[in-house]
A and B are shown apart, each in its own frame.
Chain A
Amino acid sequence: MLEVKDLYVTVEGNEILKGLTLTINAGEVHAIMGPNGAGKSTLSAVIAGKDGYEVTSGSITFEGQDVLEMEVEERALAGMLLGFQYPVEIPGVKNIYLLKAALNAKRSANGQEDIPAPEFMKLIKEKIAEMKMDASFLQRSVNEGFSGGEKKRNEILQMLVLQPRLAMLDEIDSGLDIDAMKVVADGVNSLRDAERAILLVTHYQRLLDYIVPDRVHVLVDGRIVKSGDAELAKKLEAHGYDWVEEGSAA
């Protein structure tokens, strides 16, 4: 589904990703772990199309399409959705507007009519209950004045409504207490199916107790230095990232 090949990325003249290669197939959940500054967030930002990241070589394809040639919104419409580590506050834009506009954009891209209001309301109410959120969230401005946990739930709510093919979650566990993390993990797990892939970017193994990945990759200094199954995350937890770095150096 997603293929990243030998990707080199610089940010403000600094090379952050140095030959990263990664393949994710439908139905899989991948976790990318690594120490701070390894380039974890850069990877998801580049896939989503954020400004200021220069791809100097390598490629990213999503179901055969060249991702780097696509506009930001085209990537989302193709089914790649990024859950932000620090979701931006958008004063005055109600959550309901964002959800409706995004859903209609997706339907329009698929040649569908705008969603009828009753159907939309039914869908939203169902998803919002799933995320254990209050309906008043919908009339509030996007992320404005939200707690860290509320922002993360809001990111997952958008995933549940928009049903991406590839959900990328950047440090979705940061700033969450254990109850909020369970809600978020339940939400993510509900997205799991044979047609969909999930990419988790995380610093801590803790999240992976709730969302068990099929593959774990260790990202150090802009490159994946080790890959394995869920057990790898546990080993990392026990031994720390130095263990991998020493191992890869040896």
Chain B
Amino acid sequence: MSDVQTFLDRLAERNAQRGREPTWIAARRQAGAARFEALGFPTRRDEAWKYTDVRAIARGDFALADDAEFSPATAAALTLPIDAHRLTFVDGVFSASLSQLDGLPSGVALLPLSRALEENHEAVGGPLGRLTGVEFSPFSALNTAFTEEGAVVRLAPGTVVEKPIVLQFLSRAGDQPVMSHPRILIEAAGRSQATVIEHHIGEEAAANFTNLVEEVMLDRGAILTHYKLQEAPLADLHVASIHVEQGRDSTYTSFNLNLGGSLVRTDLISELNGQGATANFYGLFYGQGRQHVDSHTLANHNAPHTYSNENYKGILDDRAHGVFNGKVVVKRDSQKIEGYQSNANLLLSDRAEIDAKPELEIYADDVKCSHGSTTGQLDEEAIFALRTRGIDRQTARGLLTLAFAGEVLEEVDVDTISERVELAVAGKLPERFNLAGLVEAAVALDDE
């Protein structure tokens, strides 16, 4: 049986269990399945997947979860300690008990996709799939075929949400690996403002496959900060594509923080359609063991006076493999563009590998675009300066490696996240760096 057939069979089983659903959903499901069947899983001969081998997914046999049972104590330990509005999904299934939806301010709708469909499926059918159909990749086609749950966030014009909105995805350990195909749909109307924290985490022994498609629409003047904190269990497989559409004067800021998962691929695409729109892409990935972390970003400058700014950093140890592919495209007549891209990587081991491809594709002349990509060594002068304070060479290297990650974390406004990631990075750094206890003290001092 072919890899593709396994998935199609699962789809057929699921479809047989499904009740009646709106015709548009069924039609898309069918289109997704047809597209997936036609494309098959990508191979390394596909330019966009040149450095990423997805056979671990293709050869898997994943069931679909039917319930959202999860130990409340474990969930509490995994949940970000942050005062937030929260939707929680367990292996893709909505968990009302682990969500926190009381006290939602007016102008904010936060609900699971299934409920949004029940309430008014036509209101969902318009935006869902508008930014990405089944063409984007075999994974987006697969997601469309399986679409049933996810998160819907709607912000009314002028709404400023004080507390962050957390979208929590828990991965459960079990006898049979499961897959989920969640959708995230964020519609931020004019001048609305919010912080969305997408948090992927789970039980250590889990080995599930998450195939996520996100659509984010920012209307005129909307400001959205989007954290994707990926701390999935180390055997989890994670593929996500995030499609953003930006209207005039909107600002979308993405933090793509990848710490977990065995095979992780994220595509982040922003369409800068309105003048004055700004996209900020920040990323940090840390790979160890045999982790594979692939980040693809694309800023499409479709209108004049649009700005993109990108800074991705990667640290790779052991036999980890990192991929960074960033692209800035400036369309014809999109003048007065600024597009900046920076990527830096550190390899801590001789068996680690990074493949970087920072691209520019420019069809207008009045632009300021640049990219820089470096993979290399720590600053010897800084190492010397630290050693003159009695710090040994390895610890100095550790401090500077932590500092390397710190340059992205400095941009993070949510202290809970920056401290958590810094602690995680410090904890992941090889023991030879001797950093134990250091970050904790700093965090403690800051909290005082």
Partner of B386, one of A51, A90, A92: A90
Q: Is the CB of A94 within 8 A of B442?
A: yes
Q: Is the CB of A96 within 8 A of B403?
A: no
- A7 to B442, alpha carbons, bound, how many Å? 43
Partner of B382, one of A90, A97, A124, A158: A90
Answer whether residue A138 sits at the interface, using C-beta atoms and an 8 A cutoff. yes
Contact with B along A149-174 (1 / 0, CB 8 A): 00000000010001000000000000
* Closest Cβ neighbor of B399 among chain A residues: A93
Answer whether residue A114 sits at the interface, using C-beta atoms and an 8 A cutoff. yes
Answer whether residue B102 sits at the interface, using C-beta atoms and an 8 A cutoff. no
Q: Is the CB of A51 within 8 A of B384?
A: yes
Q: Is the CB of A73 within 8 A of B404?
A: no
Task: Identify the stretch in A12-20, A56-64, A74-82 within 8 Å (CB) of chain B at 4 or more residues.
Answer: A74-82
Q: Is the CB of A92 within 8 A of B404?
A: yes
Answer whether residue A71 sits at the interface, using C-beta atoms and an 8 A cutoff. yes
Answer whether residue A49 sits at the interface, using C-beta atoms and an 8 A cutoff. yes
Q: Is the interface of B mostly helix, strand, loop or mixed?
A: helix
Within the complex, what minimum Cβ distance (angstroms) separates B293 from chain A?
21
Answer whether residue A102 sits at the interface, using C-beta atoms and an 8 A cutoff. yes
Partner of B438, one of A75, A87, A100: A100
Q: Is the CB of B442 within 8 A of A97?
A: yes
Answer whether residue B103 sits at the interface, using C-beta atoms and an 8 A cutoff. no
Contacts of A25 on B, CB cut-off 8 Å? Answer: none
Contacts of A124 on B, CB cut-off 8 Å? Answer: 445
Contact with A along B433-447 (1 / 0, CB 8 A): 001011111101110
Answer whether residue B402 sits at the interface, using C-beta atoms and an 8 A cutoff. yes
Q: Is the CB of B438 within 8 A of A92?
A: no
How many residues of B are in contact with the other chain, CB < 8 A?
35
CB contact under 8 A between A96 and B445, given known A50-B384, A88-B382, A90-B400: yes
Answer whether residue B42 sits at the interface, using C-beta atoms and an 8 A cutoff. no
Q: Is the CB of A71 within 8 A of B384?
A: no
- A162 to B389, alpha carbons, bound, how many Å? 8
Within the complex, what minimum Cβ distance (angstroms) separates A182 from chain B?
25
Contact with B along A45-58 (1 / 0, CB 8 A): 00011110000000
Q: Is the CB of A92 within 8 A of B406?
A: yes
Partner of B385, one of A88, A100, A141, A162: A88
* Closest Cβ neighbor of A114 among chain B residues: B437
Contact with A along B376-393 (1 / 0, CB 8 A): 000111101111111111
CB contact under 8 A between A73 and B392, given known A92-B407, A94-B442, A121-B445: yes
- A124 to B388, alpha carbons, bound, how many Å? 19
Answer whether residue B395 sits at the interface, using C-beta atoms and an 8 A cutoff. yes
Q: Is the CB of A76 within 8 A of B438?
A: no
- A145 to B134, alpha carbons, bound, how many Å? 48
Which residues of A118-140 are within 8 A (CB) of B?
A: 120-121, 124, 138-139
- A109 to B392, alpha carbons, bound, how many Å? 11
Within the complex, what minimum Cβ distance (angstroms) separates A151 from chain B?
12
Within the complex, what minimum Cβ distance (angstroms) separates B429 from chain A?
13
Within the complex, what minimum Cβ distance (angstroms) separates B403 from chain A?
3
Partner of A141, one of B379, B405, B406, B439: B406
Answer whether residue A84 sits at the interface, using C-beta atoms and an 8 A cutoff. yes
Partner of A109, one of B388, B390, B404: B390
* Closest Cβ neighbor of A78 among chain B residues: B390
Q: Is the CB of B410 within 8 A of A92?
A: yes
Most chain B C-beta atoms within 10 Å of own C-beta, residue among A48, A88, A109: A88
CB contact under 8 A between A81 and B437, given known A88-B381, A96-B442, A97-B402: no
Answer whether residue B448 sits at the interface, using C-beta atoms and an 8 A cutoff. yes
Within the complex, what minimum Cβ distance (angstroms) separates A99 from chain B?
8
- A132 to B368, alpha carbons, bound, how many Å? 43
Q: Is the CB of B444 within 8 A of A73?
A: no
- A162 to B441, alpha carbons, bound, how many Å? 18
Contacts of B405 on A, CB cut-off 8 Å? Answer: 92
Contacts of B410 on A, CB cut-off 8 Å? Answer: 92
Contacts of B439 on A, CB cut-off 8 Å? Answer: 97
Answer whether residue A106 sits at the interface, using C-beta atoms and an 8 A cutoff. yes
- A229 to B388, alpha carbons, bound, how many Å? 30
Q: Across the A-B interface, give the 10 residue pairs with the lowest CB-CB distance, nearest first.
A: A92-B403, A92-B406, A76-B390, A72-B387, A102-B389, A93-B403, A73-B387, A105-B390, A90-B382, A88-B385
A selection of 11 A-B contacts at a CB cut-off of 8 Å is: A49-B388, A76-B391, A88-B385, A90-B403, A96-B441, A97-B399, A98-B386, A101-B391, A105-B395, A120-B441, A139-B445
